[in-house]
Amino acid sequence: MAGDADIEIAHATDALLRARYVIALTGAGLSVESGIPPFRGPGGLWTKHGEPPMNGYERFLADPKQAWADRLEPRGPMRELWDALAAARPNPGHVALADLETLGVLKALITQNVDDLHRQAGSQRLLEIHGNATLIRCLECVARFPRAEIPTDALPPRCPRCGGLLKSDTVSFGEPIPPDVLMRCEHEAERADCVVVAGTSATVYPAAHFPIAVHARGGTLIEVNPHPSELTPMCAVSLRRESGIALPQLVERVRARLARH
């Protein structure tokens, strides 16, 4: 084991325990470690199958019945994606973040992932900024329902609460981030003085904005990523390993330090 890695973990532990309000931002790297293919890069769905249309939301609104039929009988890359989502299980990185919340250190977790794995690992204060693939959302009243609760014999299905148009909770290309989630993310980022950025290069807005804003106010960023990112120059500590390796090490160190006090 490189001594450098150990020193970096110690620095990250200090930063977490010194902070008043820690949040985390996670992205595709955590999902990939659970066997979900990324969209871009080597093995990426769109690298293999070509880029999808960038106006998914517009297309949904133009023909929600057809969009729902495609959703229920996915083909090609979407089939591959839904199958991978159904088979995926939380990895030690997801579990470590849930543990960090239980320890009282992590106050909120913003994820760009739609795979439900943070929930399955036990994270409670979770903000799924791009939605959750196991949920259906009403475009009128923003209520969310488990997929199994929504009958799909007549398409498109309608909201049991208000009759509004229902759509998968996952945020499509061109679709605004649901306002309730976006407001809560902004609120958490305003309170935070430390952000753990794990498995994301944090280049997709609005999620990328949160760590940058915290850093601009003098907060501390801790990066967990095998590869450097555009955020690296702003990070006080960079743990250059997979989340499933680095996060459990970090949380164990935090747990030990808390036990001593």
Query: How remote is the C-alpha of 203 from its chain's centroid?
Result: 13
Using the rule CB under 5 A, give the single segment among 71-79, 88-96, 130-138, 190-198 that binds Zn ion: 130-138
Judge whether 115 and 133 are in contact, CB under 8 Å. Answer: yes
**CB closer to Zn ion out of 52 and 164:** 164
**CB closer to Zn ion out of 51 and 180:** 180
- Minimum CB distance to Zn ion, residue 166 (Å): 8
227 is catalytic: no
Per CB under 5 A, does 140 bind Zn ion? yes
- Minimum CB distance to Zn ion, residue 139 (Å): 8
Cis peptide before 176 (omega within 30 of 0): no
Per CB under 5 A, does 138 bind Zn ion? yes
Paired strand residues for 26? 111, 198
Number of residues that bind Zn ion (CB under 5 A): 8
Using the rule CB under 5 A, give the single segment among 14-22, 107-115, 126-134, 143-151 that binds Zn ion: 143-151
Using the rule CB under 5 A, give the single segment among 72-80, 108-116, 142-150, 195-203 that binds Zn ion: 142-150
Q: Which of 130, 209, 227, 261 is catalytic?
A: 130
Give the phi and the psi of residue 218 in degrees, each rounded to 5: 95, 5
Per CB under 5 A, does 141 bind Zn ion? yes
Using the rule CB under 5 A, give the single segment among 61-69, 141-149, 243-251, 253-261 that binds Zn ion: 141-149
Per-position DSSP letters for 24-83, written without gaps between them: EEE-HHHHHTTTPPPSSSTT-HHHHH-PPPS-HHHHHHH-HHHHHHHHHS--HHHHHHHH
Contact track, Zn ion, 154-183, x by CB under 5 A: -----x-xx-x-------------------
**CB closer to Zn ion out of 144 and 184:** 144
Site for Zn ion in 208-237 (CB under 5 A): none
- Tokens 């009282």 belong to residue: 104
Q: Which ranges of the chain does DSSP label H, i.e. alpha helix?
A: 3-18, 28-32, 45-49, 56-62, 64-72, 76-87, 92-102, 117-121, 179-191, 209-216, 243-260
Question: Buried b / exposed e across 17-40, counting CB within 10 Å, b at 16+?
Answer: eebebbbbbbbbbbbbbbebbbee
- Minimum CB distance to Zn ion, residue 165 (Å): 9
Question: Footprint of Zn ion on this chain (CB under 5 A)?
Answer: 138, 140-141, 143, 159, 161-162, 164
Residues designated as active site: 130
